[in-house]
Amino acid sequence: MRDAFPRAATAIVSTATYGIGEAPGQTSMELAVRASVSALARVGLKPADVDGLFVCLPTDFFSGLGLAEYLGIHPRLTNNNRVGGSAFQTYVLWAALALAAGQCDVALITYGSNQRTASGKLVRSLLPSPFEAPYQALVPASAYALAASRHMHEFGTTRAQLAQVAVAARQWAQLNPEAFVRETLSVEQCLSARMLSSPLSVRDSCLVTDGAAALVMTRGDRARDLCLHPVYVLGAAEATHHRMISAAPDLTTTAAVESGARAYAQAGITAADVDVVQLYDAFTINTLLFLEDLGFCPKGEGGRFVEGGRIAPGGALPVNTNGGGLSCVHPGMYGLFALVEAARQLAGEAGERQIAGAEIALAHGNGGELSSQATVVLGSASTV
């Protein structure tokens, strides 16, 4: 059957972040609501205007109900699916379909997490598997390390190439006042950093921060009345292959191949048309895998592709322009921050790191252990 995604029928009209870095004493719900009311207020909306709610909080499996109660609203649609950090890309997919079908008129997508100041470590929401738990892998770092070991074996990828990803993210973070870690980082510092789960060191791993974000979606006609620069949803698709890394069909090719191809087809574009790229970089290997799987370079070439600052400020392909999960923010689930940064770039709100003339942005989400993959293609008014 034809994939009848409603290309450009819906748009992101507003985004907001809150509490990136450390937000001591605040609950995850409080952080999410701060971001939500801020995003709504920017376009003259109130919680009472929201009738489609898409949310996930780190440890609250009924967060959709809790947020509706907190905001005092009775949504027509409530969705708190948990496919991992990519859940937010899937929310954009479902919100676009629901808005286009008239199932809701104003969709709020939000997330908040206090994991850094509340627990000091990554919140674990993956249930341990009896077939993996005895071996005491670091969850989730070892899963990504196993994929990296395989990528090195098959394609000759090096730790220095992985370090290029971390260094590029840091250089972008230095242009983003909101980024949590902005000190200079060199390839040498990455290579001498403490090993976490070989071949990945602590510098190959995302931050552990607090943080919240929100975005508001409406149908395209209303979007033009609400804001100056609507960011249109041109395509959105998801794919899932496995949960546990030991069940991954292929450690070096993810389901992003499928989600990306379908999102591109919906949008009517190819990777070559994308001006700015946001990839879920929980670990440096993610960036290489997704650059390959989303068609920015051939399979196996990711390591060589990122050399010479190609994805860093001033490089040919701007990737993770906010500093990513590696240097800007990672409160346990990063997907919404990738979407917010993509929307900010297209709305011309990215300040010193703004990519001039950006018309098409990609925001890719990853969940679990390279498990759920979801790709969203966004465009400015010129692409509609």
Partner 1 sequence: MGTPTDILTPERSWLEALAQGRFLLQRSASSGQFVFPPRVAEPRSGATDLQWVEASGAGVVHAVTVISPKPPAAPYTVALIDLAEGVRVMGRVEGLPPDQVAIGLPVQARVGQIEGVPALLFHPREAAHA
Contact footprint for partner 1 (CB under 8 A): 129-138, 142, 145-147, 149-150, 153, 195-200, 244-247, 251
Q: What are phi and psi of 169, to 5 degrees?
A: -60, -40
Nearer to partner 1, 100 or 139 (CB): 139
Token look-up 């709020």 returns 108
What is the distance between the alpha carbons of residues 29 and 58, in angstroms, rounded to a whole number?
A: 10
Structure tokens at 99: 């808005």
Nearer to partner 1, 84 or 140 (CB): 140
> H or E stretch including 216?
strand 210-219
Task: State the nearest-atom distance from the C-beta of 135 to partner 1, in Å.
Answer: 5
Nearer to partner 1, 136 or 184 (CB): 136
Task: State the nearest-atom distance from the C-beta of 138 to partner 1, in Å.
Answer: 6
Task: State the nearest-atom distance from the C-beta of 111 to partner 1, in Å.
Answer: 29
Q: Are 324 and 172 in contact (CB under 8 A)?
A: yes
Q: Are 365 and 85 in contact (CB under 8 A)?
A: yes
Task: State the nearest-atom distance from the C-beta of 299 to partner 1, in Å.
Answer: 17
Nearer to partner 1, 103 or 246 (CB): 246
The radius of gyration of the chain from alpha carbons, rounded to an integer in Å, stands at 19
Report how far Cα 269 is from the mean position of its chain's Cα atoms. Answer: 20
Task: State the nearest-atom distance from the C-beta of 302 to partner 1, in Å.
Answer: 17
Buried b (16+ CB within 10 A) or exposed e, 321-342: bbbbbbbbbbbbbbbbbbbbbb
Nearer to partner 1, 147 or 190 (CB): 147
Nearer to partner 1, 102 or 130 (CB): 130
Task: State the nearest-atom distance from the C-beta of 140 to partner 1, in Å.
Answer: 12
What is the distance between the alpha carbons of residues 280 and 165, in angstroms, rounded to a whole number?
A: 12
What is the distance between the alpha carbons of residues 191 and 160, in angstroms, rounded to a whole number?
A: 7
Beta bridge partners of 218: 11
Nearest residue to 278 (alpha-carbon basis) of 147, 376, 202? 376
3-state secondary structure of 195: strand
Nearer to partner 1, 142 or 218 (CB): 142
Task: State the nearest-atom distance from the C-beta of 143 to partner 1, in Å.
Answer: 9
Task: State the nearest-atom distance from the C-beta of 132 to partner 1, in Å.
Answer: 5
Structure tokens at 166: 């971390």
Cα angle 320, 208, 177 (rounded to 5 degrees) comes to 50
Q: Could you tell me the CA-to-CA distances from 326 to 10, 12, 35 in Å, in that order?
A: 30, 25, 22
What is the distance between the alpha carbons of residues 223 and 221, in angstroms, rounded to a whole number?
A: 5
Nearer to partner 1, 2 or 194 (CB): 194
Task: State the nearest-atom distance from the C-beta of 133 to partner 1, in Å.
Answer: 8
